[in-house]
């Protein structure tokens, strides 16, 4: 079993209910091979953590940047809480060392593992909120995630491909892109999506990902690259 006291020391948060901390790291696949494990998987905690995280980040951005309009703050928030950013922060925190996965999932790396890490970060936020309350959870998020706002600003990570593609498409051909699911595969805990970005009936770009949002972003990116080549 993992020694979660090491994680508590690392993040500077001591849980009253140790089961809540452990549950944040239980992937659905782990229970398939450990049917007698006393805890449930982390998906409900992930659901809660996602909402708590958005509240904390939104509140911080609203208070910290009073001169910025709603649209810009929304873009910054999306860049801070997307799976790419959360998985990066999770790796920096070494959350990978504490994951409870099936033997098959342990062999997965790359995007599949990043998706699990991002979900685990949200589950950890959810478990912390239940165990320690909003104030302690806010301090954790402010320390671990919110400093990344400088990275978002410096590297223009808030300029997502979908927004840019919509602007370009409306300017060049006066059409608003539509995204359609082309293929869906994989088990519930690690779905794989293929999505097309369409301009009318024309497939402008295609993307894949472990969430529809990620696949749509990749489809928009491919479509943008095609537009640039044609110019």
**119-166 pLDDT, tens per residue?**
999 999 999 999 999 999 999 999 999 999 998 888 766 667 787 788
Catalytic residues: 50, 122
Residues for the chain: how many in total?
231
E-only strand ranges, the chain? 178-185, 192-199, 202-209
For 36-160, where are the alpha helices, taking DSSP H only?
A: 43-64, 70-81, 83-92, 103-107, 110-132, 134-144, 149-154
Residue 117: phi and psi, rounded to 5, are -65, -40
- Ordered by where they begin, the domains of the chain are 4-154 (1.10.1520.10), 161-230 (3.30.160.20)
- pLDDT at position 65: 94
Cβ count near 38 (within 10 Å)? 8
Q: Report yes or no: 223 and 215 within 8 Å, Cβ to Cβ.
A: no
Cβ count near 126 (within 10 Å)? 26
* Residues near 16 by beta carbon (within 8 Å), at least 6 away in sequence: 131, 132
- pLDDT at position 112: 80
Place of tokens 């919110």: 146
- pLDDT at position 156: 67
Per-residue pLDDT of the chain (231 residues; tens, 9 = 90+): 789 999 999 999 999 999 999 999 999 999 989 999 999 999 999 999 999 999 999 999 999 999 988 878 888 888 899 888 999 999 999 999 999 999 888 887 777 888 899 999 999 999 999 999 999 999 999 999 999 999 888 876 666 778 778 888 888 889 999 999 999 998 777 788 999 999 999 999 999 988 888 899 889 989 988 876 765
Pairing of strands 192-199, 202-209: antiparallel
């Amino acid at each position: 079993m993992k020694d979660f006291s090491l994680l508590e020391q690392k993040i500077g948060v001591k849980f009253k209910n140790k089961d809540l901390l452990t549950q944040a790291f239980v992937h659905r696949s782990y229970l398939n091979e450990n049917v007698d494990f006393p805890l449930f998987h982390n998906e409900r905690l992930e659901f809660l953590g996602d909402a708590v995280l958005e509240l904390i980040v939104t509140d911080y951005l609203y208070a910290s940047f009073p001169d910025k309009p709603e649209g810009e703050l929304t873009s910054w928030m999306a860049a801070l809480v997307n799976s790419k950013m959360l998985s990066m922060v999770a790796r920096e925190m070494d959350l990978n060392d504490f994951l409870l996965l099936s033997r098959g999932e342990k062999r997965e790396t790359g995007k599949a593992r990043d998706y699990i890490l991002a979900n685990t970060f949200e589950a950890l936020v959810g478990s912390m909120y239940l165990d320690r309350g909003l104030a302690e959870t806010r301090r954790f998020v402010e320390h671990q995630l919110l400093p990344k706002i400088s990275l978002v600003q410096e590297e223009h990570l808030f300029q997502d491909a979908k927004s840019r593609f919509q602007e370009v498409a409306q300017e060049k051909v006066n059409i608003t892109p539509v995204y359609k699911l082309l293929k869906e595969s994989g088990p519930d805990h690690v779905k794989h999506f293929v999505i097309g970005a369409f301009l009318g009936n024309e497939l402008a770009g295609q993307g894949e990902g472990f969430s529809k949002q990620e696949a749509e972003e990749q489809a928009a990116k491919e479509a943008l690259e095609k537009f640039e080549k044609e110019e």
